[in-house]
Chains A and B, each alone.
Chain A
Amino acid sequence: MGLELVTTQLEKAANWGRKFSLFSYPFVTACCGMEFMSVAAPKYDIARFGAEFPRFSPRQADLLMIVGTITEKQAPALKRVYDQMAEPKWVIAFGVCASTGGFYQNYHATPGADQIIPVDVYIPGCPPRPEQVLDALMLLMSRVQDARGHSQLRHKREKLVLEQQRAAGALEE
């Protein structure tokens, strides 16, 4: 009981740290990039939320921002970038194209980046206003704190399955 209390409190503390130090990897493919620059620049200043530091290496990042249309040809590259990121990781789909494919319904555009990788927060808009982006970031931060991000949930699920398998194995023995 005592140990459980310590570990849950420890995870809360770790999540508190994670949510205020999101290192983002901007996967910028299209015109939404201009709006992303606006969010990152001093006027709207994403640095106020501790997410100011774009890392151009997926291995050092824990927030993937998909900014712009993802074409079918780009999809393997996006999947690879996501796979290279270390756990726990979060994904924001920035703009309608990254969220749903937007106004593209044709041979070249994916109908949303969530067809390729799991997405935590979607930002509508073509392009979204900087306020929407900051709102989405705050939403993501609350999810990080509550351990409700996709990769956190997956981690939890895998741990649970492992425990169940162990328990079943113990019973058989």
Chain B
Amino acid sequence: MSQKVLDALAKKFGDAVERTETQHGDEVAWIKRDKLVEVATWLRNDPAMAFDQGMFVTAIDTLDLRRPDANGAIRVVDLEAAGATRFEVCYQLRSLRHRHRVRLKIRVTEADPRVPSMTGLWSSFIWQERETFDMYGIKFDGHPDLRRIYLYEEFVGYPLRKDYPKDKRQPLVRRSDLPSSES
């Protein structure tokens, strides 16, 4: 549907676009991190692209990612062997004028989870990037107010990372007369 967006991206920013693909009817472009703002600015300002709406931003933690191998058996993907990094940050953009959409994906490593902020281009990303920071600990460089949005300041860690224990709670208050709460 939006294949022409991917083609235009690949033509204009040859080496900044790692690769492009289509997943379940959604067009995805993998962008190099340091070229992200440049690519996004063009996507917003070019009259043929005119992506005037930032829909969402989120991240994917691919730790222990399981996929079927050539024989159909479900196995954990070895990320280092595949040349991939742990986190993928997704930006979904949409053009209300041309009615097309595109998803930008950026790879970031666990050691350096930084992505340039897109809040200067689409202000709707201000809260969304805060949420992504809150849940995955992705740091958005240039964000005007990067702090937790859902969780409290006392919370340690990032709960939607796959290595966060799934039932680990960090209570703010507990009854003092309740022995079972001491855990």
Measuring CB to CB, which residues of chain A are less than 8 angstroms from any residue of chain B? Answer: 72-73, 75-76, 79, 105-108, 110-111, 114-118
Contacts and interface: CB of A to CB of B under 8 A. Distances in A.
A115 B167 contact: no
Interface stretch (B18-26, B34-42, B94-102, B172-180): B172-180
A110 B181 CA distance: 11
B37 to A, nearest CB: 33
Contacts of A116: 173-175
B172 A76 contact: yes
B164 A115 contact: no
Contacts of A118: 175
Nearest to B165: A107
Nearest to B160: A107
B175 A72 contact: no
Contacts, number: 45
Contacts of B164: 107
Interface of B: 150-152, 159, 164, 166-175, 178, 181
Contact of B172 (A73, A106, A114, A117): A73
Contacts of A114: 175, 178
B166 A75 contact: no
A165 to B, nearest CB: 20
Given A107-B164, A110-B169, A116-B175, A72 B152 contact: yes
Contacts of A75: 171-173
Contact of A72 (B167, B169, B178): B169
Contact of A108 (B159, B173, B174): B159
Contacts of B170: 72, 107
Contact of B178 (A105, A106, A115): A115
Given A72-B169, A106-B166, A107-B169, A115 B151 contact: no
A75 B174 CA distance: 8
A106 B172 CA distance: 15
A72 B150 CA distance: 11
Contacts of B174: 115-116
Given A72-B171, A76-B172, A76-B173, A105 B166 contact: yes
B100 to A, nearest CB: 36
Q: In the A-B complex, list the 7 residue pairs whose CB atoms are closest, starting with the nearest.
A: A107-B159, A105-B167, A75-B173, A73-B152, A79-B173, A76-B173, A76-B172
B108 to A, nearest CB: 22
B167 A106 contact: yes
Contacts of A106: 159, 166-167
Nearest to A79: B173
**Which of the listed residues A72, A79, A105, A111 has the most CB atoms from chain B within 10 Å of its own CB?**
A72
A76 B153 CA distance: 14
A117 B175 contact: yes
Given A107-B164, A108-B150, A111-B169, 10 more contacts: A72-B172, A73-B150, A75-B171, A79-B173, A106-B159, A107-B167, A108-B151, A108-B159, A115-B174, A115-B178
21 contacts: A72-B152, A72-B169, A72-B171, A72-B172, A73-B150, A76-B173, A79-B173, A105-B166, A106-B159, A107-B166, A107-B167, A107-B168, A107-B169, A108-B150, A108-B151, A108-B159, A110-B169, A115-B171, A115-B174, A116-B174, A116-B175
A20 B45 CA distance: 68
